[in-house]
Structure formats: structure tokens, C-alpha cells
Amino acid sequence: MKELKKMKDNTMIYLENTELKIAISEKGAELQNVYNKETQLDYLWEGDPAFWGKKSPVLFPIVGTLKNNQFTHNGESYQLSRHGFARDKQFKLTESSNTRVSLTLDADAETLAQYPFLFRFSIVYEIHKNKLSCTYQVTNIDVKPLYFSVGAHPAFKVPLEEAYQFNDYYLEFNQSESAGKWPITAEGLIDENPIPFFHSNNRINLSKELFYGDALVFKHLESSSIRLSNDQSKHGFLFSWSEFPFMGIWSAKDAPFVCIEPWCGIADSVNATGELRDKEGMILLTPGQNTNRTWSVELY
């Protein structure tokens, strides 16, 4: 795997440098492997459907669940499923080198039936030393304003090494936090009020029970990075984001992974009106305007 290749049989894209090997599927532009040569560890969840069959889905043009799975725009109602359609669409390879790749999704008849906007959505993956970065680029190619949300959902193996257990690990934030978490209802909506969670601390000790009530959802944290650590091992990762105002941390019930999910956008609240332009976290682009959002992870 000395150069980027497109495999016809499984539509996989590969990036490689002296430290990392990365695999990406053209379906959903979804990460499939994140392998560190020095540690000889693949940090990405394997996608076992017994727990959760995804690995790192992309959330676009919404994040989370809409109230009644629908929204209203300019007097018309549209049906759109949780997290939007990008994760299930075939992206096109539009730029490639050994260490950088861009995959692009353009609006089509199928997307317009669910989401009445002309857009271009590109995802750029790039590696440098032991760091992988992911940039979401959204361009409004319509003649009217574009409203959208975008978010990440990468799942990382926990434990990273067979010698350890899930609860040997913890998440350490780079700032002291006092935020509450926002509960998720059975319908997948954000409840009316947060409940206490952080108390001027910066650490979450992982346990399976922590996620029995669904994801931990936070708004406007002070931190811009999270470190996965284990005091018995030198291996972990540093996940960084600074351009995403919402954060979700999730695992399926009793599953050996944790998702770190920076979001520009959030699920509808229980009080949502259903009007797209009023939805919390929506980004507005004028015709011809574009915007970028980047997250990264350093693997050690």
C-alpha cells in the first residue's frame, strides 16, 4: 500500500505515510481503518453489527433526530431520517494523493425530495505523521439560502489492547468543565433542561453503564480536545475540535467502543417547532458561500 489506490471490488480509498495507514469507503465517505504502524493498533471500531454496524458515519444535512422525522421549509413538509442521508450515499473521489483525499457528494433528485437545497458536500481526509484530520466543506450552489448541520460520529476501540478492560480507560478534557448533559428522550429528542454532570472537573471515567441512558450530549464546552487514556498503558489518542459547538459521547449498550462526536447541529428539542430555519445549531449559507469545519485525532 505504497500509494493511494481505488479498489474496484470494494470502492475503498487508502492513505499511507510512514506512521499511519487509513482506509475510507466511498459509500458515505466513511472511515474503515485507522492503523498506527508503530503501535500496531487499529484504533477504529470494527463495525460488528451485533452491537453497531457503523464505524464512522458522517452526519449531514442534519445531526440527530427531527421531531416526527420531518421539517418544514417555505410552507412545505419534508421527511428526513435521523442524521440525514450522507452516510448512505455514494461519494465521488475528487482529489487524491498518498496523504490527502477528497470525496464529494452533490445534490441529486433523491436528496432534493428529502431536502430542497442544491449543495456540494466534500470531505477531506489528510494524514501528517501520526495525525489524521477530517474537514467538512459545504458549498451553497443554490440561488436561495442553504440551511444545514454537519457532524462526526467516529467510533474508537475500547479497550485498545486485549490486556485491558473498558473501565480501565477515561476521557480527559483539556479544560475544567461545569456543563450539564442534555438528556435524550425515547423519541431521540433533546429534553427541555440539562441535568448536572461536570462539577469543575475534566475527566469522565468510562464504564458500560455510563451509556445505558443513550449518549452524553453537551453544549458549548470549554474544551477543544479530549484524550483517551489508560494509566496502565501508554497507548491512546488525542481528539481535537474547535469549530463544533456541540459534543456527543456514545457507546452502544455493553459495546467495546466509544464514539467522540463533534457536531455543528443537534437533535430537535421536545419543544421544536419543526421549522428548519429555527432549528438549533443550523448553519446558514448564502448563495455561493461555503464553509469548513475540521476535527483531528493523534494516535499514539
Q: Residue 11 has what pLDDT? A: 87
Q: Could you say which DSSP state residue 196 is in? A: -
**Residues 229 and 115: beta-carbon distance below 8 Å:** no
| Segments of the chain scoring below 70 in pLDDT | 1-10
Burial class (CB in 10 A: 0-12, 13-18, 19+), 220: exposed
* 101: phi then psi, degrees, rounded to nearest 5: -145, 145
What is the C-alpha separation between 15 and 96, in angstroms, rounded? 9
Q: Residue 260 has what pLDDT? A: 98
What is the C-alpha separation between 176 and 198, in angstroms, rounded? 9
User: Which of 263, 245, 242 has the alpha carbon at shortest distance from 60?
Assistant: 263
The cell for 194 is: 440539562
What is the residue type of 217?
Answer: V
**Residues 201 and 245: beta-carbon distance below 8 Å:** no
Tell me the CB-side half-sphere exposure of residue 65, using CA atoms within 13 A. 14
pTM of the model: 0.94
User: Which of 289, 293, 294, 279 has the alpha carbon at shortest distance from 118?
Assistant: 289
**Residues 265 and 64: beta-carbon distance below 8 Å:** yes
